[in-house]
Structure 1
Amino acid sequence: MGRFANVDRRTVLRGIGAAGVGAALGPGGRRAEAAAAPPNIVVILIDDLARRELGCYGNTFNETPNMDRLAADGIRFTAGYCGAPVCSPTRASLMTGQYPARVGITEFLGPSGDDFLPTSFQTLPETLRGAGYRTCLIGKWHLSETYTGPVRDRPGNPWSHGFDEVIASEQQYIAGGDYFYPYFMLPNLPQRLDNEYLTDRLNLEATDFITRAHQAGSPFFLYLSHYATHQTLAAPQPLIDKYAAKPGAGQAGRKPVLAAMLEVIDAGVKQIRDTLTSLGIAGNTIILLLSDNGGDSATDTSVPFRGAKATLYEGGVRVPMIAYRPGAPGGRVVDAPLSTVDFMPTLLAAAGVAAPAGQKADGVSFAGLLDGGSAPARDALFWVYPHWHDPGLPSASVRKGRYKLLRRLHDNREELYDLIADEAETTDLTASMPAKATELRTALDAHLRDVDRFPPEPSPANVPTALLEQEFDAGLGGFTVLAPAPENRAGTVAASGGALTVTAGGSAAFALLRSTLAVGADNVAAIVSQRSYANTATTAQDTLFAGFVKDAQNYVLAWYNHRQKRTGWDVRIAGTLTGNRVTQLDGAINYPGPNARLACVLHGDEITAYAVAAGGAWQYLFTADIGRFVRLDDPAVRATYKFGFGARIDGGTMTIERFAARRR
């Protein structure tokens, strides 16, 4: 039974109506009748909006009077953070109250994968619906990679996470942007407005839902998730012309198309507040407004912050965030760090609804702050973004008090900043404040172990059980040479003198070797060690492979090319080859050819690759989701695969010194 299932409908309506027409104030400045009734909740999420784009954060070009007024009536956060520097993981954190790394979604979800927000998480809308709320998503969901089949049957769809109504949510991948009717991502959405602009349509749907929910006598949760201002930028031409005619148009922070898009979002804020007032429920409706990540560097910068979307610098994760609760003091500016992981515990506490039993909450409630109290105490905030995504690099970070430590995962270089004295992150303090760096480093290490998002470096300490440790002084016993299949390339493979030699006389050789040892467990590593290579061609291949092999037509291999300084992965299933090259890696690292090691670690349905640099330490390369090709997280499937490795070289020789298989 819902929390309000036994409340008489007329009592609820009477309380809401009285709150809207001047009821007496109760404790904490809240209206007494409103305090007795469950509050309505509106969350407005804007896409890819840098904090500096709003007038209340200092922008004098864009016109955002209604969002500015919302801030003046409520709270403007100066240290409001999203859960990740890209959209899908932030949305996951908002829905679950957990860090994206714990949820398992750390990158935006693409159009052809198999990832989604599992229903094993009890989400914010699901919990509120169980307490009697009417719940509605309008707009962007982006928490599933499946875009085929009936919408309501797709894994991770919004209905499965507790939404009663889902309106104008993408049926096809959102791609770069889709703003005017007819919509390619919403092929079944009928037109309601002349010359329909999608943001106008979402605003209309929002006010319609509020009216329906109020008339039904239910408290409601509205998640208005705009597609704007995501690329490709587009807006009604008269609005673009208006801003193009303003002084300074086209300069940094003065983008006419972006400003036009933002004006329509801003108009929707007014429409929502006007509707709440006309229905007499403005005095009992909480409104939260924010962006899902920092501004896109392709359209603008995030001054005064460093970085942008896809980075863990402040420009990627520090966003506009405004909160309003009627009856509480307005015009407050709060400097305490708060995040989207805090939204679920906050809104449940504000509604008087218990958090899901047994589900870990990473966030803290700031419901007391909404009521006029102080910000909650918290030890630290964390971010994990293990992806190459221009302009960002695989990174993790922690903010503790005024200090922030950022770690680049591929070379473990760390940067320490004082965000109070240096919000632009210009002065690295790691050398001058070693004790503080150690304190934050320890906290970040503990968090990475806690979320267990991706396996640590494949050292014996982290992957302790040796399944196979083999050098090649005794030949190729236990291995099968699959060359020239699967790539039909000429070359020779021989073992002598404690090493395996792959030779190509002017043409590419591919030696794929398979041990008789089955991949019998998760968290296993295939590690290949290279002794030397001899290759003078300037564009030659000298590539190591390591991973998991069923036969010549079925394998999963990570690779690293030393000459071209590239990495990636190959998956061949039933003879069909696919894969990916991490192009952004080019020039970013410089691992040696001789004395190199490459490891491929299996963790669930993902592989993570590491290589050894000149200093001898393991360094992170990438994590790849291979579940859409083969489910190696299924023990029955995994048992059919063996540990394997390979080498490719053009016009020379490469010696492989040893191969190891280890289990965590």
Structure 2
Amino acid sequence: MFQTLRLLALLGAAIAASIGAAEAPNIVLIYADDLGYGDVGCYGAKSIPTPNIDRLAAGGLRFTSGYCTSATCTPSRYSLLTGQYAWRTPGTGIAPPNGTALIKPGTPTLPQTLREAGYRTAVIGKWHLGLGAAPKPNWAGEIKPGPLEIGFDESFILPTTNDRVPCVYVRGHRIVGQDPDDPVDVFDTQPDDQPTGITQRDQLKMDWSHGHNETIVNGISRIGFMVGGVAARWIDETMAEIFVKEVDTFLDQGKAQPFFLFYSAHQTHVPRAPNAMFVGATPHGPRGDAIVELDWCVGKIVAQLEQRGMLENTLILFTSDNGPILDDGYRDQANELLGNHQPAGAFRGSKYSRFEAGTRVPWIVHWPAEVKAGVTDAMISQVDLFASFCALAGTNLAEGVATDSLDLSQALTGHRPAAREYVVEHSGLTAKLAVRRGDWKYIEPDDGPQVLTNTGAETANSFHPQLYNLSTDAGERKNVAGKHPQIVDQLANLLQQERRKTGRD
């Protein structure tokens, strides 16, 4: 394995050298939220128009076996930025409203490594990796550590998710527009006499279905309790416009340097409250309309790059943090208006699942200067972006950095078919894993619930080992573990070897 990694690193460096150190590519990572494999046109969607995303795919390389590392957002983001599987590190599950920084200062990260290679770095959009130090973030003052302490030069973020408090934007270390006389604070229990989604349910503009019934912001009740910051609170319907404007500002600065932009979209995470210009754009209600809004954001970012003459040498990667989910806490008719649309495409499962749809996601690479249009079934994981992006930037990783990340820059750019031999899949809800190697998919036994009560998500939990041949059973309906005990043993042992790894080998 070490010799293979070394060879891949040399090949990646060859690409970087071929484009010249002065022309290292700009990198724009557009990270959708809860977007399924089948949610966009180029992956089969018929009733949700996504012309801008489809245009990227038509002019770039579309992957059919691109994976995130976990079927929930916080661990996927952790793995992407650190190059290490989140399941190796305790406490990297779904971050709560007052969650403190999960990636500690001093941890080698993708933005830090690219910055050391001469890149400007920025994150714009959803964060959900914790902020500040124990016992909880200092919402009323300086909020650190955060993105600026782990390699980002600039950050404009929503701290957790759009369904969690605090419902404010944070630029750098401070909440945007906070009135000193009305400071923000967040509590785990309800402050006295605060109205909630339970006490004022009849006044909400979007009803909740489960869990999302605490502090009300913009007529929508959230997870967690927030006080203060009335002037700083966001309006869901303008979030896309605000984030895209932040991208525009970032691109105007420091044009002499290559840049890494992590655009972390909030669509299609709940609550789905797209701008009025997108309402009714699909027959699927707010969820479908939010995907159209996401596509609009992609189009705006591409246009901003093109207007500045940057598009030719910018690598754009469009992907998602996990698979799709319909009812994730609000009554927005995502189930009722689904119709014939298949968010997961041909695959089984969803967000929260170790079935394929939990982690097999849209994955498009567009880089006019280097990447030819096409489709590839090369297996690749988001944990590999750390090593692959750094190779394309012409920088080498130090020993012990991004230990789960493989340099697959050759596969990422379509220059060579070399890719992963196997991908490890994780749900974020269990210590158990799954693995795909070639056509075979193995899911470890787990005695947890097979279906989550509130969301209806199939977890892939079972008392028995599961084995599927994806070449003939992409929907994972025929468990053939009993017919192939040797393959089950091989893949079970492979996962145990992964668990024992502590660094590159």
TM-score range with shorter-chain normalisation? Answer: 0.7 to 0.9
Taking a change above 3 Å as real, the CA distance of residues 163 and 189 of structure 1, as seen in their structure-2 partners, is same
Q: Which residue of 1 aligns with 2:213?
A: none
CA distance in 2, matches of 1:426, 1:102: 30
Taking a change above 3 Å as real, the CA distance of residues 111 and 224 of structure 1, as seen in their structure-2 partners, is same
Preserved contact between residue 432 and residue 446 of structure 2 (Cα < 8 Å): yes
Q: Which residue of 2 aligns with 1:110?
A: 96
Task: State yes or no: 1:404 paired with 2:441.
Answer: yes
The 5 Å alignment of 1:275-314 reads 275-298=304-327, 299=334, 302-314=344-356
Q: Which has the higher strand share?
A: 1
Aligned-residue offset at 1:284: 1.2
Preserved contact between residue 71 and residue 426 of structure 2 (Cα < 8 Å): no
Preserved contact between residue 106 and residue 150 of structure 2 (Cα < 8 Å): no
The C-alpha deviation readout for 1:240-289, integer Å capped at 9, x for no partner, is 2232xxxxx2xxxxx23122222222122222222222222222111111
Q: Which residue of 2 aligns with 1:229?
A: 268
Preserved contact between residue 380 and residue 420 of structure 2 (Cα < 8 Å): no
From 42, 47, 51, give the equivalent of 2:28. 42
**What's the RMSD between the two structures over aligned residues?**
3.0
Which residue identity is paired with 2:163? Answer: G
Task: State yes or no: 1:170 paired with 2:199.
Answer: no
CA distance in 2, matches of 1:29, 1:113: 40
Task: State yes or no: 1:138 paired with 2:124.
Answer: yes
Aligned-residue offset at 1:71: 0.8
Aligned-residue offset at 1:45: 0.4
TM-score normalised according to structure 2 size:
0.73
Task: State yes or no: 1:189 paired with 2:189.
Answer: no
CA distance in 1, matches of 2:296, 2:162: 25
Q: Identity of aligned pairs, percent?
A: 32
CA distance in 1, matches of 2:301, 2:277: 23
Number of residues paired by the alignment? 402
CA distance in 2, matches of 1:31, 1:64: 35
Q: Which residue of 1 aligns with 2:239?
A: 198
Preserved contact between residue 63 and residue 377 of structure 2 (Cα < 8 Å): yes
The C-alpha deviation readout for 1:392-443, integer Å capped at 9, x for no partner, is x663111111111001333752100112221110111101111111111111
Aligned-residue offset at 1:141: 1.3
Q: Which residue of 2 aligns with 1:343?
A: 385
Which residue identity is paired with 1:129? Answer: R
Which residue identity is paired with 2:148? Answer: W
Which residue identity is paired with 2:59? Answer: D
Aligned-residue offset at 1:53: 0.8
CA distance in 1, matches of 2:16, 2:121: 24
Aligned-residue offset at 1:50: 0.7
Aligned-residue offset at 1:310: 0.6
Higher RCO, 1 vs 2 (CA within 8 Å, ≥6 residues apart): 2
CA distance in 1, matches of 2:278, 2:68: 29
CA distance in 1, matches of 2:176, 2:100: 25
The 5 Å alignment of 1:417-432 reads 417-432=468-483
Q: Which has the higher helix share?
A: 2
Higher Cα Rg, which structure: 1
Which residue identity is paired with 1:72? Answer: A
Preserved contact between residue 322 and residue 360 of structure 2 (Cα < 8 Å): yes
From 487, 490, 496, give the equivalent of 1:445. 496
Q: Secondary structure at the match of 1:93?
A: helix
Structure 1 unaligned residues grouped into runs of 5+ = 1-27, 244-248, 250-254, 388-392, 453-664
The 5 Å alignment of 1:475-514 reads none
In terms of mean alpha carbon deviation, does 43-52 or 140-149 score higher?
A: 140-149
CA distance in 2, matches of 1:50, 1:353: 33
Which residue identity is paired with 2:161? Answer: I
From 67, 71, 85, give the equivalent of 2:53. 67
Aligned-residue offset at 1:291: 0.6
Q: Secondary structure at the match of 1:94?
A: helix
Q: Which residue of 2 aligns with 1:546?
A: none
Aligned-residue offset at 1:360: 4.5
Q: Which residue of 2 aligns with 1:260?
A: 289
Which residue identity is paired with 1:128? Answer: L
CA distance in 1, matches of 2:141, 2:235: 29
The C-alpha deviation readout for 1:495-516, integer Å capped at 9, x for no partner, is xxxxxxxxxxxxxxxxxxxxxx
Taking a change above 3 Å as real, the CA distance of residues 404 and 435 of structure 1, as seen in their structure-2 partners, is same
Taking a change above 3 Å as real, the CA distance of residues 112 and 274 of structure 1, as seen in their structure-2 partners, is closer
Q: Which residue of 2 aligns with 1:505?
A: none
CA distance in 2, matches of 1:447, 1:439: 12
Aligned-residue offset at 1:175: 5.3
CA distance in 2, matches of 1:107, 1:440: 25
CA distance in 1, matches of 2:235, 2:441: 49
Aligned-residue offset at 1:33: 6.6
Aligned-residue offset at 1:79: 0.9
Taking a change above 3 Å as real, the CA distance of residues 303 and 277 of structure 1, as seen in their structure-2 partners, is closer
Q: Secondary structure at the match of 1:241?
A: coil
The 5 Å alignment of 1:621-660 reads none
CA distance in 1, matches of 2:114, 2:141: 20
The C-alpha deviation readout for 1:130-149, integer Å capped at 9, x for no partner, is 11111101011111165531
Preserved contact between residue 325 and residue 351 of structure 2 (Cα < 8 Å): yes
CA distance in 2, matches of 1:310, 1:57: 21
Q: Secondary structure at the match of 2:493?
A: helix
CA distance in 2, matches of 1:153, 1:91: 23
Preserved contact between residue 30 and residue 326 of structure 1 (Cα < 8 Å): no
TM-score normalised according to structure 1 size:
0.56
Preserved contact between residue 16 and residue 393 of structure 2 (Cα < 8 Å): no
Aligned-residue offset at 1:203: 1.3
Q: Secondary structure at the match of 1:272?
A: helix
Which residue identity is paired with 2:243? Answer: L
From 357, 374, 377, give the equivalent of 1:315. 357
